[in-house]
Amino acid sequence: MFIVLTFLLTNERHRCGMDRTIEQLLEIQDKDIRIFNLKMQIESVPEEKEKVKHLMSEAEDAMNTAKNNYLDIEKNIKNEEIEIASLKDKILNLQNKSASIKKNDEYKAVLKEIKQFNEKIEQHEDKQLVFWEKLEESKASKEKAAKNLEATKSRIENSIRDLDTRNENCKIQIEKFKEVRQSLSETIPPELFNNYLRLLKRRSSGNSFVKAVVPLQGENCGGCFLKVTPQIKASLRKSSFDQCENCGVILYLDV
């Protein structure tokens, strides 16, 4: 492979100029990087939408919690009202009963019981006042949660709309870059271009783009960072670019 590529590069230099060939190949790689990044953005859209929707779920949970808390307090107030009404009925029955009581001890016992019921009524009324105060606080929390829910809905709708717009814009940009890339690829010798494609496929993974065309960095390959042979250095001075014998990337002199 290295001998074939070197022969190809040398012939290409004589035909059209080596610098122009590497420039065009670098332009293709630049478009491939841009296309890759745009595809990654498109792939991230569903996950980002789920994150946005999760915010909605949190706002709905907060709203339901505030609403249930308000209803619970209303229920407590109602229960206190029922207890107070029950105690008042008991007092009324005792009062009616006391009218027919002849014995003083029995009459005193009824009065004592009425007093105890009145004390219990006061206790329930005190509890009821506390619940009324909590109800006002809960009402404010419920209204705040409702406003937050509406605001969150609006933000989420805008975010999802923005994500959909980004998704479409990315697709448009990808098609434009593909057109430019196709035009550029027609100016590159087929053997060289196919070798570039093989290198990309071999070196890149699903979520990372690894360049197939890299500059020589001093005496080291810009891909594997190992020292290149004197023969490769001599070839680069002669033909402007060659292939690393260690990792196989296409090397060029960045002048």
pLDDT (tens digit per residue) in 24-65: 999 999 999 999 999 999 999 999 999 998 999 999 999 999
Helices (H) then strands (E): counts for the chain? 5, 4
Mean pLDDT throughout 101-122?
91
Judged by phi (left if over 0) then psi (alpha if -120 to 50, else beta), residue 218 lies in left
More confident residue, 185 or 101: 185
CB 117 within 8 A of CB 91: yes
Cα dist from 12 to 21, 27, 77, 230, whole Å: 8, 17, 91, 22
Distance, CA of 18 to chain centre = 46
pLDDT confidence tier of residue 240, bands split at 50, 70 and 90: confident
Strands (DSSP E) found in 134-207: none
Query: Looking up tokens 């980002």, which residue turns up?
Result: 48
Structure tokens at 138: 């809960």
Architecture of domain 2-211: Orthogonal Bundle (1.10)
Q: Which helix (H) or strand (E) holds 251?
A: strand 250-252
Query: Looking up tokens 């107030």, which residue turns up?
Result: 77
pLDDT confidence tier of residue 2, bands split at 50, 70 and 90: very low
Mean pLDDT throughout 217-236?
92
Instruction: Give me the pLDDT at residue 241, please.
Output: 82
Q: Residue 25 gets which letter from DSSP?
A: H
Query: Looking up tokens 């230099």, which residue turns up?
Result: 13
Say whether pLDDT at 206 is over 90.
no
Sign of CA dihedral 155, 158, 164, 165: negative
CB 251 within 8 A of CB 244: yes
Structure tokens at 86: 């029950």
